Amino acid sequence: MNDLFSLKGKTALITGSSRGLGFVIARGLARAGATILLNSRNNDELRKKAEELTKDGYTTDVACFDITNEDQVNAGIQKLTEKHRIDILINNAGIQIRHPLENFSYADWNRIIQTNLSGAFLVSKEVAGSMIKHKSGKVIHVGSLQCEVSRPGIAPYAAAKGGLKML
């Protein structure tokens, strides 16, 4: 039964994986046999998490770049693909800010949309070329129920996750 879910020989990039759900996903994929590429903006956190996985016997690498910065994404993915073939991309990075709609600043709106939606687009776009070239790959976006059933205080988050669902 374990072979049915084996990811041996596969490499997975997980954005926002230095903590929280992203790290849990990374650990789960590592347990299934995948090589794990951790990503976040914080190199120190990434290194600590990579060490933790390595101590547990898993193969890891780190990619420190800001998913909302196109130049950093392009350079980061290029550097990764020089060493690894990315078979799986998990777009997990995200942020949440809660305010009534009338109190949201345009800057906060943009920050949420850029992180939760535009960042997934940028990373997917850059990874897709390699996946198309190899005629293989999976892109998984971590969504939210909030794209279906929004509630007060999270309008930009719900809009971003709705967009991510359609992406």
Residues 122 and 52: beta-carbon distance below 8 Å: no
Cα separation, 115 vs 66, whole angstroms: 9
Residues 116 and 164: beta-carbon distance below 8 Å: yes
**Is 157 a known active-site residue?**
yes
Which is the catalytic residue, given 157, 159, 160, 164?
157
Q: What is the DSSP string of 87-116?
A: -EEEE---------GGG--HHHHHHHHIII
Residues with active-site annotation = 157
